[in-house]
């Protein structure tokens, strides 16, 4: 026996060997239960709910942040395109009396230009860009830069677009034809 107190009680005759053995077994049993309970930590449901709510809030915040960053990028890009158009647009004045019709986003639009601008448009040296609902003429290289950023804001005319199934491909349309 390892317990000197139990040995003294046995010598004095207060307890017998069976009682000491039973007490030792109870002590060992309680030790094992205590040791096992330390391994298995009690589940704190409130803490789990709080952690889950914090994770969900963090996910919502990340999504909101991403949306705000996308909007900021879009605004910056739009401002950059507006700056390109305003810096490089061709000035049109009262001498621009020719109504030039073109298609943009499946709608026919009209812009007033002069004869020289019309020739450059037909040759594909100019493009038409939209800034706040107004169409402006810009050089072809600027129009291509705008198209790289947002193709909905620019109309570029190209000479070499030909349809193989076009029955009127052999007939040339005169440049001075106004419709």
Whether the pTM exceeds 0.85: the reply is: no
With contact defined as beta carbons under 8 Å apart, do 127 and 138 qualify? Answer: yes
**CA–centroid distance for 68 within its chain:** 9
Q: What is the mean pLDDT of the chain?
A: 83
Measure the CA–CA gap between 141 and 139, rounded to whole angstroms.
6
Q: Region 164-169: what's the mean pLDDT?
A: 76
* The most confident of 36-45, 91-100, 139-148, by mean pLDDT: 139-148
Type and span of the H or E element at 111: strand 107-113
């Amino acid at each position: 026996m390892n317990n000197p107190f139990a040995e003294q009680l046995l010598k004095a005759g207060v307890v017998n060997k069976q009682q000491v053995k039973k007490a030792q077994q109870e002590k060992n049993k309680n030790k094992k239960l205590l040791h096992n309970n330390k391994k298995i930590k009690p589940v704190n449901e409130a803490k789990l709910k709080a952690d889950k709510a914090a994770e969900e809030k963090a996910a919502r915040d990340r999504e909101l942040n991403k949306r705000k960053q996308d909007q900021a990028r879009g605004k910056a890009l739009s401002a950059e395109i507006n700056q390109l158009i305003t810096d490089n647009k061709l000035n049109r004045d009262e001498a621009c009396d020719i109504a030039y019709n073109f298609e943009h986003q499946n709608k026919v639009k009209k812009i007033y230009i002069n004869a020289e601008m019309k020739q450059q448009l037909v040759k594909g040296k100019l493009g038409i860009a939209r800034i706040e609902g107004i169409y402006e003429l810009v050089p072809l290289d600027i129009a291509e830069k705008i198209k790289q950023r947002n193709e909905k804001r620019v109309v570029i005319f190209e000479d070499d677009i030909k349809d193989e199934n076009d029955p009127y491909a052999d007939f040339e349309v005169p440049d001075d034809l106004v419709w």
